[in-house]
Amino acid sequence: MDTVDLDEKNGTLLIIDQTKLPAKLEVVALKTQQEIYEAIRNLQVRGAPAIGVAAAFGLYLAAKEIIENEFSAFFDRFKKASDFLRSSRPTAVNLSWALNRIEQTALSASDRPVSEIKGLIKEEALKMKYEDTAVCRAIGEHALPLINPHDGILTHCNAGWLATTKYGTALSPIYLAHERGYPIKVFADETRPLLQGARLTAFELESAGIDVTLICDNMASVVMKNGWVQSVFVGCDRVAANGDTANKIGTSSVAILARHYSIPFYVCAPTSTIDLDCKTGNDITIEERSADEVTQLWYKECMAPKNIKVFNPAFDVTDSSLITAFITERGVIRPPFSENISSLFQ
């Protein structure tokens, strides 16, 4: 089942509603820009690559609804739709990257009839979906030599097929190792407060027949100290030019623990998540979310004092000094990151 897909016949964006997992695997059809905005904002579709593809399809659906035949009038409304979707979540660079790419597709064909431009936008959005699957597979292939049979692997949040179009980023090498018969064990952090590890990663890996053990976030140190973890693989939402990396809240804590126990810490990063215009992690905007996610989302009643102050950042930034290597679709990047990341794009 595809995480994100386009239903051209009915003019809808199809997504797996990840807020219903693991209890219910439900595909929902989104038609309006408001529905697509809310699906991204409310994490019905999540994971940087999946968000990017969903936004690309969403912008195509917006283009279909624009009846202007003159390019400047068409693009004015098109750009407003793009900016609206862009505002849904600020941290994941794939969202703006995908929307910019679709905008550029329209601009580069400004001398053609608007009807043709809409067709080009559709082709580009579909191309992005197919590219993402190929990128995830390539990340897995490059990461696979870093895994040995019988290894224990710890991962945080969800960077599997639910976060992409297929395979995932951080889970891609795990899927490929499983395909090739490697006996491996995976430890999945629950990932408070939204429980992407408990609800999504554990669901994915168990469904695939992979040996996975769910742990609370504050148990990572214990399993590392016990010698059960030989490597850590995580995904990312934005990588700065110097290698500082934004990922789901709690990732930096895992990186610090891995450094203490001399465990390699790998970030699986499609090049689309690398933002060379962002010099360091200090330049990354961190999304803050509702206090309800911490105090009562998973409880029958509020489990904190009424009106208690809550700090709920969705992401943190892992300092580049804590990262062993980045795994991209183009290969493995090791320090010095400031030099080697930029050279990847030259």
**Separation of alpha carbons 206 and 115, rounded Å:** 46
The upper half-sphere exposure of residue 29, i.e. CA atoms within 13 Å in the direction of its Cβ, equals 8
Please say whether the beta carbons of 21 and 202 come within 8 A.
no
Catalytic (active site) residue 319 = no
In 3D space, the residue among 143, 154, 186, 139 whose CA is nearest the CA of residue 253 turns out to be 154
Strand pairing partners for 4? 15
Out of 151, 189, 237, 275, the active site residue is 237
Residues with catalytic function: 237
